[in-house]
Amino acid sequence: MSCYFNRTLVLHKMSFPSHSLSISATIAANAVPLATPETDPVPLQFSVLRKIESCRSIQEIKQFHALVIKSRPLQTQFVYNAIMRGVTSFRTRCGSSLEAILLYREMLMKGLVPNDYTIPFLLKACAQEYALREGEEVHVHAIKTGLLGSNVYVNNTLMRVYAVCGVIGAAQKLFDKSPQRDLVSWTTLIQGYVKTGSPREAVEVFFRMCEANFVADEMTLVIVLSACAMLGDLSLGKRIYRYMHENEVKRDVFVGNALVDMFLKCGDADLARWVFSEMPVKNVVSWNSMILGLAQQGKFKEALVVYEEMQTLGIRPDDVTLVGVLNSCANLGLLESGKWVHVYIDKHMINADGFIGNALVDMYSKCGSISQALRVFQGMKRRDVYSYTAIIVGLAMHGEAAHALEIFSDMSLVGIRPDEVTLLGVLSACSHAGLADEGQRHFEDMSRVYGLEPQTEHYACMVDLLGRAGLLSDAEEFIKNMPTEPDAFVWGALLGACRVHGKVELGELAMKKLVEIEPERDGAYILMSNMYSSADRWRDALKLRKFMKEKHVKKTPGCSSIELDGIVHEFRKGEKSHPKSKEVCRFLEEFTSHLKSFGQQDKIAFA
DNA sequence: TTAGGGTTAG
């Protein structure tokens, strides 16, 4: 009794920031005498729980809550906890954090005190809604009531609030101070590091957990596997896989999906396929993991084969599946298949905003139908930075620089901040349109206006922009002043510009640098050899080809594909396997000679 | 009556 009295007394003395939800103000204004904590009769507890569990919607819980407000004997700690449990287990549109906080305030006003069940319910709601400020308030209450530190559920749920809100330092601090830790504490900390983009640290925590003699269960492993996936570290992934065998971890559908995703992100499609085929139970996420994972590995055709298999089995795709299919169509240039997905989306009245809308814009623009991409973009009710970037990049690819820049300026009007990829689209639009000054201005704006750090891709784009505009010495100077080491894309851009403007000496320097970075690739040699030929330096061209042969430089065959009536026709340099390859070659010869008569031979050679 | 899990775009 005295213990509870002391606790409530402390609650009265607490001060909260003025912007808070004013739990403390409610307590201060509380005129109702504080009740002693009573234990409800067991039959009442059972009937309350049965009632809450029978509720099928948040409205029904609210109706029960109304009944409690009217009936004084029902106003007990147990009943409020039960309502809070009901509220937090429903995913409400209005947000369960607010509902739970309101219930908590009401509870305090009725003179009831929180216990070790109340706080976890409240904190669960805060974590679900990413309500950091409210979580911090509850943190204070948990300290003042003495529940923090004495109850592992309170500690773990509080850690989770900080972890999901990205305040990993606070979560780690709580963990370090916890007098008792269980598997959930470790798992929550590991997940905190994963969610805040630190998979390396997450894995380190996992190994520390093993040293502390905890054995991971399937929930911990799903998170650890996702950390391996983020790291793309196959040997680490295999090590975790062995751990699962050694410790006989249950392989449920979550673990299976996490394994498939991990193996694909680590580049081992065969292992992923094997795990996938061995899964006794698959769900739509399993199929999505395969389709998206294969697409992320650039295996677009394989991704579509998996999708066909899914269709054959009659499994209904969801939004994520369609995004993966659209992405594969986009990268293969399969306009007809992409259109089919669009029809499917319309037919099933799937909301074409967000991920789906953005994937459609990207698919249409990559498949050459920029007008349709624009139509989808304009028809979207909600547009985000991805939507804007997709259309800007698409317009830039189609040479419509002015339109791309116009849409870019619309972004600031509607209050959407561009990111690094948007700027890449803007710079490439400027580059293709020969707008060197405007491109330079946007490049400078990156850090000055948008607070974005230019990456090596942006530098490569600028070199391309200056090079195309014929400002070769500016491009060279630009590379010299780069804060980071120039990569193959930067030197490749310079070499390309040298090829166009016939700058052989500078081209030789770019080639030398490129060969240092990528000795096994043939691109630089081919470009340089073409450059020598154009400058009538046949001997140098021959010498370079001979050198390539001696060094066994692999030749990447040029490849192009075209979709006709839903069938993809592929053509590789030097390969005559296509049934109509003779006719195609004959047509190309005629076409080339026709173009040459218009003086376009240089462009053909370059292409 | 309480806590921790997988796939999505430019």
User: Does A354 contact strand B, using a CB cutoff of 7 Å?
Assistant: yes
Which residue segment(s) compose the domain that A8 sits in?
Answer: 1-180
CA–C1' gap, A127 and B9, in angstroms: 26
CA–C1' gap, A166 and B3, in angstroms: 18
In a domain, A388, yes or no: no
Nearest partner of A332 among A562, A510, A163, judged by Cα:
A562
Confidence of residue A599 (pLDDT cuts 50, 70, 90): low
In a domain, A467, yes or no: no
Picking from A164, A180, A196, the residue at the C-terminal end of a domain is A180
Domain count, chain A: 2
CA–C1' gap, A127 and B5, in angstroms: 15
- Which bases of chain B are contacted by protein, using any atom under 7 A from a CB? 1-10
Confidence of residue A317 (pLDDT cuts 50, 70, 90): very high
Q: Count how many Cα atoms sit within 13 Å of the Cα of residue A36 in the half-sphere of its side chain.
A: 5
In a domain, A168, yes or no: yes
Q: What is the mean pLDDT of residues A439-457?
A: 94
Q: Which of residues 532-591 of A touch strand B (CB under 7 A)?
A: none
Q: CA-to-CA distance for A326 and A339, rounded, in angstroms?
A: 9
Two tokens, residue A129? 């809604």
Q: Which residue is nearest to nucleotide B2 (CA to C1')?
A: A117
How many Å from the N-terminal Cα to the C-terminal Cα in chain A? Answer: 86
CA–C1' gap, A506 and B2, in angstroms: 69
Q: What is the mean pLDDT of residues A379-396?
A: 96
Q: What is the mean pLDDT of residues A310-321?
A: 95
Residue A389, CA: closest nucleotide via C1'? Answer: B10
In a domain, A87, yes or no: yes
For CA atoms A436, A442, A447, A452, the dihedral sign is: negative
In a domain, A159, yes or no: yes
In a domain, A227, yes or no: no
Q: Which of residues 239-278 of A touch strand B (CB under 7 A)?
A: 252-255, 257-258, 261
Nearest partner of A556 among A574, A538, A543, A569, judged by Cα:
A574
**What pLDDT is attached to residue A600?**
52
Which tens digits make up the pLDDT trace of A20-73?
444 443 433 332 333 345 567 777 778 888 888 888 888 888 888 998 999 888
Q: What is the mean pLDDT of residues A404-427?
A: 95
Residue A557: is it exposed, middle or buried by C-beta count within 10 angstroms (0-12/13-18/19+)? exposed
Picking from A128, A160, A180, the residue at the C-terminal end of a domain is A180
Residue A422, CA: closest nucleotide via C1'? Answer: B10
Which tens digits make up the pLDDT trace of A175-221?
999 999 999 999 999 999 999 999 999 999 999 999 999 999 999 99
User: Does A226 contact strand B, using a CB cutoff of 7 Å?
Assistant: yes
What are residue A148's DSSP bridge partners?
A151
Contact A558, A547 (CB under 8 A): no
Instruction: Please indicate whether residue A511 or residue A370 has the higher confidence score (pLDDT).
Output: A370
Picking from A140, A156, A180, the residue at the C-terminal end of a domain is A180
Say whether pLDDT at A421 is over 90: yes
Contact A381, A411 (CB under 8 A): no
Q: In a 3-state reduction of DSSP, which class is residue A74? A: helix
Contact A568, A561 (CB under 8 A): yes
In a domain, A120, yes or no: yes
In a domain, A155, yes or no: yes
Say whether pLDDT at A473 is over 80: yes
Q: In a 3-state reduction of DSSP, which class is residue A559? A: strand
**Phi, psi dihedrals of residue A560, rounded to the nearest 5°:** -140, 155
User: Does A184 contact strand B, using a CB cutoff of 7 Å?
Assistant: yes
Which tens digits make up the pLDDT trace of A226-279?
999 999 999 999 999 999 999 999 999 999 999 999 999 999 999 999 999 999
Which tens digits make up the pLDDT trace of A483-527?
989 999 899 999 988 988 888 888 888 889 888 888 888 878 888
Say whether pLDDT at A95 is over 60: no
